[in-house]
Amino acid sequence: MQTLAVDHPLVAHKLTTLRDVRTDSPTFRRLADELVTLLAYEATRDVRVAEATVQTPLVPARGVQLASPKPLVVPILRAGLGMLDGMTRLLPTAEVGFLGMIRDEGTLQAQTYATRLPDDLSGRQCYVLDPMLATGGTLAAAIRLLVERGADDVTALCLLAAPEGLKYLEQAFSDISAPIKVVTAAIDSHLNEQGFIMPGLGDAGDRLYGVV
């Protein structure tokens, strides 16, 4: 598994404001959207392309276009929805699937309550959107589901990651040959006793959409 913590001043600036408890939900949503677009730029460096020729106003020109099958973007509900627009801004032709997963706060294990994905993902590159990589259980379950359906390349985009979660993913996918990559704005210090990232930014879903 590969991990990339994006080192860029704009990423750090936006993340700092997201961490601030004084940042309201509308501002948080806007900044999260902008931050995801910056992360997506790095996450798609290995997106598959095919050679193509187009006609310019002057002469034919050789270039590339996204290859088929199209990439699949998979936000994990509900917080992952706050990352979707930022991702599809760079990949407007990508298809979008959805996974509804929730962490049991007692066991810290992920439970799936909704799935909207193609049954066959053979040969597909997938991009999973989950703001917080904390214990790693939810993201691991999502990635394994995609791989079991045939995905052969999975990249996860996270606003923040904890060392414990990254270690969990490495162990969980030691038997997987498909490339697994995590792209994040920062790797924080540790998890607290409740499984929250420290210093973190709080509950991403609540800060995006309010407490419901």
Is 133 a known ligand-binding residue? Answer: yes
Is 135 a known ligand-binding residue? Answer: yes
Is 67 a known ligand-binding residue? Answer: no
Catalytic residue among 103, 112, 149, 152: 103
Sequence-separated (6 or more) residues with CB below 8 Å from residue 73: 84, 87, 88, 91, 94, 95, 96, 97, 126, 127, 129
Is 204 a known ligand-binding residue? Answer: yes
Is 136 a known ligand-binding residue? Answer: yes
Is 103 a known ligand-binding residue? Answer: yes
Catalytic residue among 17, 29, 149, 206: 206
Pairwise CA distance, residues 151 & 50, whole Å:
19
Is 132 a known ligand-binding residue? Answer: yes
Sequence-separated (6 or more) residues with CB below 8 Å from residue 22: none
Is 124 within 8 Å of 71 (Cβ atoms)?
Answer: yes
Q: Is 107 a catalytic residue?
A: yes
Dihedral of the CA atoms 71, 76, 79, 82 (nearest 10)?
10
Is 86 a known ligand-binding residue? Answer: no
Is 146 within 8 Å of 126 (Cβ atoms)?
Answer: yes
Q: Is 175 a catalytic residue?
A: no
Catalytic residue among 22, 107, 119, 175: 107
Is 203 a known ligand-binding residue? Answer: yes
Is 200 within 8 Å of 188 (Cβ atoms)?
Answer: yes
Q: Is 206 a catalytic residue?
A: yes
For residue 22, with 0-12 CB atoms within 10 Å meaning exposed, 13-18 middle and 19 or more buried, which class applies?
Answer: exposed
Residue that has been written with the tokens 């962490």 in this structure = 103
Is 197 a known ligand-binding residue? Answer: yes
Is 186 a known ligand-binding residue? Answer: no
Binding residue numbers for uracil: 197, 202-204
Binding residue numbers: 78, 103, 130-138, 197, 202-204
Binding residue numbers for 5-phospho-alpha-D-ribose 1-diphosphate: 78, 103, 130-138, 203
Query: Which residues participate in catalysis according to the annotation?
Result: 103, 107, 203, 206
